């Protein structure tokens, strides 16, 4: 059985990048091909490699580090909510800037001996009983288990000027930004059927909501609800988003008119950041909002040894839910390793 205690790998490749946290002492990434001690997992093999150090990945890593697991987090450093000033609707931490929240999360993981490295993973694949993870800078590491938490990419509607306000006055989520845009004139871009729901959600926060139907055909029931709630229906084709002195002015329509707005809401199409995981053969799950990796309630996938958490597995998870999913997956991975270690000990005792 493995020696209890936070056994740390001892060798470092020359490509080892600087640690992301100035407060934590540097801990080296293990050399990829150190020999494994007989009958035991190699010191060069991490118990768990976590790909993605957002709320989900770091919460999983925290559970694992506190369970004295050798855990390495590889993180590309561009979380989904980076364009926003603050994380909202997160209990006790509401208003924290997104990157500050993650810096605090990394410090938590590092305090218990977990290692967090800036790196963009380009491939993860099975390697015998282990997994082999390759980063774009050439670092290769191996792990007994994987926790994948790379999140998703929001595909915005094609409209000139839209992207400039993304995360400030161009928003998608009433819980993340609704309070901040309350009482403004809010224009909802109708690009998917979710626009009706979005218009009604933002109507809870402002009595000046307009739905620009654009590509949307409204059914009778939807129309009745919108009209009854005082949502103005604006037909026509938007051609651009206009600003003055940095502030949103509104949406220019094809007929030349301007629909004035102090906030614009969009429905993004959500794509999992799953390209590096193709060789693992994971399954996809599709719903009305986007695509995610399929997993059970604890984040376990159909591939033994691979867990997923956060937006990679659940497009609707906000920061709190993503962290909860990561923590749950981290706990289950530790439980799985506990049983594997017990089996190794039984085999060693019988030998
Ligand atoms: C504009 C905006 C504002 C938001 N505001 C809020 C809010 O106020 N409150 C709230 O609760 N939610 C908010 N959200 C939702 C929030 O962003 C998600 O809930 C949260 O980011 C999900 O966490 P995650 O860990 O799953 O993914 P992420 O936070 O996206 O983290 C994934 C991490 O994986 C890394 N990564 C990706 N690919 C790789 C790779 N190949 N190799 C290594 N690392 C990789 C990324 O760099 C990133 O650091 C907002 C979303 C948006 C778009």
Could you say which of 265, 284, 300 is where a domain stops?
265
- Displacement of CA 142 from its chain's centroid (Å): 23
Cβ of 53 closer than 6 Å to ligand 1, yes or no, is: yes
Whether 221 and 75 share a structural domain:
no
Contacts of 34 (CB under 8 A, 6+ apart): 9, 11, 42, 43, 44
Q: Which residue has the higher pLDDT, 35 or 325?
A: 325
Domain assignment present for 32 = no
> 136, 122 in Cβ contact below 8 A?
yes
User: How many Cβ atoms sit within 10 Å of the Cβ of residue 156?
Assistant: 17
Backbone angles phi, psi at 105, to 5 degrees: -65, -40
> 52, 337 in Cβ contact below 8 A?
no
Whether 148 and 170 share a structural domain:
no
User: What tens digit of pLDDT does each residue of 263-274 get?
Assistant: 999 999 999 999
User: What tens digit of pLDDT does each residue of 299-320 get?
Assistant: 999 999 999 999 999 999 999 9
Whether 253 and 222 share a structural domain:
yes
Whether 123 and 171 share a structural domain:
no
Whether 128 and 175 share a structural domain:
no
> 192, 268 in Cβ contact below 8 A?
no
- Residue 12 class from Cβ within 10 Å (0-12 exposed, 13-18 middle, 19+ buried)? middle
Mean pLDDT of the chain: 89
Whether 149 and 51 share a structural domain:
yes
Structure tokens that stand for 145 in this block = 């288990």
Could you say which of 265, 284, 312 is where a domain stops?
265
Q: What number does the ligand 1 atom closest to the CA of 87 have?
A: 8
Q: How confident is the model at residue 167 (pLDDT cuts 50, 70, 90)?
A: very high
> 80 CA to middle of ligand 1, Å?
3
Whether 142 and 49 share a structural domain:
yes
User: How many Cβ atoms sit within 10 Å of the Cβ of residue 281?
Assistant: 12
Amino acid 290: pLDDT: 87
Domain assignment present for 182 = yes
Whether 141 and 280 share a structural domain:
yes
Domain assignment present for 57 = yes
Could you say which of 265, 291, 323 is where a domain stops?
265
Domain assignment present for 324 = yes
Whether 143 and 274 share a structural domain:
yes
Q: What is the pTM of this model?
A: 0.90
Q: How confident is the model at residue 25 (pLDDT cuts 50, 70, 90)?
A: very low
Q: How confident is the model at residue 289 (pLDDT cuts 50, 70, 90)?
A: confident
Domain assignment present for 19 = no
The residue ranges of DSSP E strands in the chain, in sequence order, are 45-51, 71-75, 115-118, 121-127, 130-135, 140-148, 152-155, 170-171, 186-189, 209-212, 232-234, 238-244, 247-253, 258-260, 263-265, 269-272, 284-287, 290-293, 306-308
Whether 80 and 223 share a structural domain:
no
Q: What is the CATH number of the domain that holds 256?
A: 3.50.50.60
Domain assignment present for 7 = no
The label of the residue with tokens 């790379």 reads: 150
pLDDT of 23 strictly over 80:
no
Structure tokens that stand for 282 in this block = 């994971």
Q: What number does the ligand 1 atom closest to the CA of 52 have?
A: 34
> 300, 332 in Cβ contact below 8 A?
yes
Q: How confident is the model at residue 6 (pLDDT cuts 50, 70, 90)?
A: very low
pLDDT of 14 strictly over 80:
no
Cβ of 268 closer than 6 Å to ligand 1, yes or no, is: no
- The count of structural domains within the chain is 2
pLDDT of 168 strictly over 60:
yes
Amino acid 44: pLDDT: 66
Whether 237 and 176 share a structural domain:
yes
Average pLDDT over residues 78-92: 98
Domain assignment present for 15 = no
Q: Which residue has the higher pLDDT, 84 or 22?
A: 84
Cβ of 315 closer than 6 Å to ligand 1, yes or no, is: no
Domain assignment present for 230 = yes
Q: Which domain holds residue 101?
A: 45-153+269-350
Cβ of 265 closer than 6 Å to ligand 1, yes or no, is: no
Closest Cα to atom 37, ligand 1: which residue?
150
Residue 238 and residue 45: Cα distance in Å, rounded? 54
Q: Which residue has the higher pLDDT, 147 or 28?
A: 147
Whether 117 and 55 share a structural domain:
yes
pLDDT of 276 strictly over 60:
yes
């Amino acid at each position: 059985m493995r020696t209890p205690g936070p056994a740390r790998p001892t060798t470092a490749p020359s490509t080892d990048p600087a640690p992301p946290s100035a407060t934590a002492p540097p801990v080296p990434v293990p050399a990829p091909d150190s020999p494994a001690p007989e009958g035991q997992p190699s010191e060069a093999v991490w118990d768990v490699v976590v790909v993605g150090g957002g709320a989900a990945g770091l919460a999983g890593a925290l559970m694992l580090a506190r369970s004295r697991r050798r855990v390495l987090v590889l993180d590309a450093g561009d979380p989904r909510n980076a364009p926003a000033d603050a994380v909202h609707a997160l209990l006790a931490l509401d208003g924290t800037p997104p990157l500050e929240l993650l810096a605090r999360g990394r410090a938590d993981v590092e305090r218990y001996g977990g290692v967090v490295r800036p790196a963009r993973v380009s491939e993860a694949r099975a390697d015998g009983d282990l997994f082999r993870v390759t980063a774009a800078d050439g670092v290769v590491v191996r792990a007994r288990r994987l926790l994948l938490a790379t999140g998703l990419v929001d595909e915005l509607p094609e409209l000139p000027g839209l992207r400039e306000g993304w995360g400030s006055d161009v928003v998608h989520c009433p819980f993340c930004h609704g309070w901040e845009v309350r009482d403004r004139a809010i224009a909802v871009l109708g690009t998917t059927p979710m626009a009706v729901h979005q218009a009604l959600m933002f109507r809870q926060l402002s009595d000046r909501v307009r739905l620009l139907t654009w590509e949307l055909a409204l059914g009778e029931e939807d129309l009745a609800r919108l009209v009854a709630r005082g949502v103005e229906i604006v037909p026509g084709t938007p051609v651009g988003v206009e600003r003055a002195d940095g502030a949103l002015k509104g949406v220019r329509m094809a007929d030349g008119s301007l629909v004035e707005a102090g906030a614009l809401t969009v429905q993004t199409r959500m794509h999992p950041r799953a390209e590096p995981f193709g060789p693992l053969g994971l399954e996809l799950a599709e719903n009305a909002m986007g695509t995610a990796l399929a997993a059970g309630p604890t984040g376990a996938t159909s591939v033994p040894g691979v867990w997923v958490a956060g937006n990679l597995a659940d497009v609707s998870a906000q920061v709190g839910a993503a962290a909860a999913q990561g923590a749950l997956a981290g706990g289950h991975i530790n439980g799985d390793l506990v049983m594997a270690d017990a089996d190794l000990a039984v085999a060693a005792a019988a030998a």
